[in-house]
Structure 1
Amino acid sequence: MKNAAHSFLAARSGIALLAAVLSAVAVPGATQASVAQAANGGYQGLFDVKARKDFLAQNPSSDARKACLAVDADAKWLNIEVIKGLTTTQGYGTDRSGNQYAWAVMVLSGRALAGDKRAEEMLTAFLLKWADAGAFSETEKIHDAYYALKRLMLPTVVAYSIIRDGLGDQEKQRLIAWIDPLVRRTDQIFEGSVDYNNHRYLADSVLMAWGSLTGDQELYQKGLDRFGIILNDARADGSLPLETRRGARALWYMRQSLTSMTVMAEIAAGGQDALFEATAAVDGRKKSMWTVLSYWMNGMTNPILVKAYSAENYIPGPEQDFMKPDFGFLENRGNGRHYLAFLEAVAAHEPPNFIQRRAGALLEREGANERPLIDEFAGGNATCFWRQG
């Protein structure tokens, strides 16, 4: 049923996947066949691993493959102490005790994707060690700790997708028995704004990735639902109300939301669900992910567009003056991560439109010299996953 519309709110109440539109969000390309495919064995996860491995093998001198191998693997990672649980933190911020774990997973998964067999073996041994020890299983049930868990689970799911075909059945079951309940925990509702803002977007990107990979239609649908809700919630100019109120970090959290939207759209592409082209209508005007992305970029070049919203100064972060926007996301964070990583996927999407070309220019201007761009919110080494050259 070509160009059929999804009902993004349907999964909340158990309504069928292709129910009538409830919230005016249209998603081209959703079909009964794509739903059956998910139920019978899954889509691709974040991206088509086999196709990407083939591309990298066929282009051994490409910048993409160089990015996969740019960071050396460290045998000491196998000795990192397993973290049994994540906890809440005092003041602004989140539990960063899992940073070493995440870095090891992201580096090794990129190298494994590029054909580094030693890295693949290390990654397998590393994940099995943490799985067998029940890592993160004692995470404190509070939104701050669960936010840290969400950040760690996305690269974990991506790493599993990369090594899955090389695993024995017993190894697969050990990893699934560990990953599955942790992923499902991220669906926790805390009765607050974190159930609707970028925290929730991240959770649903994790749930969708795992649902796609394992063929769990209900989890996969959560990402489709959330993407539609985001578009419905966006103002006509593309701004997201729960993010732009965040004072100096209004654009910071807009970017975080866009990263999760990009992840959901990339996952959906494997199920033939065209979220990049999805739209919602307000007062006769259509909104899409490109509207949100355009607002974010416009806000960087003309901050006055943001200040009417950011003046609310709701939990603004380190900088209390909303008149001083925080553009720290344009730089490497000093721990190897880069918040512009998601733009690698945006820039590679075909066919390109004007807003994508703007995003590509931003990526080249602000991130080209800092590649590979690696970030938990994007699932790992985004340059390795999506760069075409």
Structure 2
Amino acid sequence: MASLTSLAIAATLSLGLSLPAAASGWAGLFDVESRAATLKTDAYRDIRALCLAVAIDPAWTKLKPIRRLATTEGYGSDTSAEDFSWAVMVLSGRALAGDADARRRLSDLLDQWAAAGAFTETEEINDAYYALKRQLLPLSVAYAILEPGLETERSGRLRSWIDGLVRKIDHTFDGDVDHNNHRVLADSVLAVWGAETGDKAMMEKGLARYETVLDETRFDGTLALEARRGARALWYQRQTLSSLTVMAETARGHGWDFYSQTSPEGRSYATLLGALLNGISSPILVAVYAAENHIPGPEKDFRQLELGFLETRGHGRHYMGWAEAAMLSGHGLAFDRLKGLFARQIVARRPLIDEFIGGNSTCFWGQP
């Protein structure tokens, strides 16, 4: 399939033309109405159960709004809002599956944080903004699930709050974070929120990053700014793929097949996916780049690759959530290999909940 370049997107949008709509076109990350209906069917009974698998914690009603995310010492970013994002992701999945109590709790929680101006005073520094970026896909998805039933006043308040935060993270720091997984995450947020709200310029800007990443992909599928990260080289390769999946699913709602898009050199999503899977199977393939050991994370030995993303993390997340979506739409050997990995090591850990894919990905895309 011919490459759909960002220039073509820009030209189409600037002319005000309608883009080719998919049979089940949607605005945002996925078709909320269609998925909610699907989850009610007998065939998806087990998937619906996974939407409801994590219980509501009564303590979530007592979460205090956090106005400021800040820089942290050493490796990592501010985790003070981690409980909030977990609550949002669990409640949004339950609400999608028809849990009226979860819907009410989610609406009240978001309204409380919106009214308090949560995150609006986040420190203007890259790692604090990274922590903010991690909040925004779950918030965007939660809003999409809630919006059809919201009162006009509350809908406007939530939309204005989220919109301001999304625009805040579209920020340049004049460093590697303007080009690596930090920026790709930011642009995935812009793509989803822009599509959801009808802001074509924002959506276009976010989706354009997809082509940029393909252009920067090396012949073996690695990315220069991620593969050098020592023990976490594959960690950040996987994180970039998660954000590209968000973009591809957003684009798919408009009839664009980003999974098949190629760069002039023939690089594609499958090229990046193949590099991740090759590294998992044969870590020696990663060593030539990982030896640079640039900001490697907790493990300082670049030969001891961090593969914790194949397990459920201590804070409940599973960072392979993006695979639920990618397996449905991609075709070819790399995607077949992903399905094999999923069947062997991941499916038993469902539901897969992760802020980099917007929440409970098993609920959003999972198949029986």
Instruction: Specify the TM-score bucket, using the shorter chain as the normaliser.
Output: over 0.9
Cα 1:5–1:60 shift into 2, 3 Å: closer
Q: Closer, same or farther in 2 for the Cα pair 1:314/1:71, shift >3 Å?
A: same
Preserved CA contact (<8 Å) 1:6 1:18: no
Match of 2:314 in 1: 334
2:6 aligned residue? 8
* Percent identity over paired residues: 50
**1:271 offset after TM fit, Å?**
1.2
Match of 1:154 in 2: 137
Q: Name the count of aligned residue pairs.
A: 364
Aligned to 1:211: 194
Do residues 308 (structure 1) and 288 (structure 2) align? yes
Match for residue 336 of structure 2 among 357, 364, 367:
357
Matched letter for residue 329 of structure 1: F
The secondary structure found in structure 2 opposite 1:62 is: helix
Shift of 1:322: 1.1
The 5 A counterparts of 1:183-222 are 183-222=166-205
Structure 2 unaligned blocks of 5 or more: none
Q: Secondary structure at the match of 2:280?
A: helix
Contact 1:108 1:119 in 2 (8 A): yes
What is the match of residue 23 of structure 1? none
Q: What is the CA-CA distance between 1:360 and the residue it aligns to?
A: 1.3
Does residue 84 (structure 1) correspond to residue 39 (structure 2)? The answer is no
- What is the rounded CA distance, in whole Å, between the counterparts of 2:167 and 2:306 in structure 1? 33
Give every structure 1 segment of 4 or more consecutive aligned residues whose post-TM-superposition deviation is greater than 3 Å: 3-7, 15-19
Residue 271 of structure 2: SS of its match in structure 1? helix
Give yes or no for contact 2:61–2:109 (8 Å, CA) kept in 1: yes
1:222-262 Cα offsets, whole Å, 9 max, x none, are 22210000000000111111100111110000000000011
Amino acid corresponding to residue 296 of structure 1 in structure 2: L
Mark the CA change 1:191 to 1:17 in structure 2 (over 3 Å): closer, same or farther.
Answer: farther
Aligned counterpart in structure 1 of residue 55 of structure 2, from 50, 72, 75: 72
- Aligned partner of 1:63 among 37, 42, 46: 46
* 1:368 matched to 2:347: yes
Aligned match for 1:230, one of 213, 216, 219: 213
For 1:387, the aligned partner's letter is: G
Q: 1:61 to 1:276 in 2, by over 3 A?
A: closer
Corresponding residue for 1:109? Answer: 92
Q: Secondary structure, in 3 states, of the residue corresponding to 1:242?
A: helix
- Deviation string for 1:126-184 (max 9, x for gaps)? 10010011000110000000000000011000000011101111111010111101011
Whole-Å separation in 2 of the counterparts to 1:193 and 1:139: 20
Aligned partner of 1:22 in structure 2 is: none
Cα offset for 1:281? 2.4
The answer to whether the Cα contact below 8 Å between 1:10 and 1:225 also exists between their aligned partners in 2 is no
- Distance in 2 (CA, whole Å) between partners of 1:251 and 1:382 is 21
1:76 shift after superposition: 2.1
> Secondary structure at 1:314's aligned position in 2?
coil
Partner in structure 1 of residue 151 of structure 2: 168
Confirm or deny: 8 A CA contact 2:188 2:246 kept in the other structure: yes
Q: In structure 1, list runs of 5 or more residues that go unmatched.
A: 20-30
| 1:43 CA drift (Å) | 4.2
The residue aligned with 1:378 is: 357
Matches of 2:59 and 2:293 in 1, distance apart? Answer: 43
CA drift of 1:59 comes to 3.1
**Alignment TM-score, normalising by the size of structure 2:** 0.95
Task: Read off the aligned partner of 1:288 and give its amino acid letter.
Answer: S
Taking the aligned partners of 1:291 and 1:87, their CA distance within structure 2 comes to 36
**How far apart are the structure 2 equivalents of 1:106 and 1:60?**
24
1:265 equivalent to 2:248? Answer yes
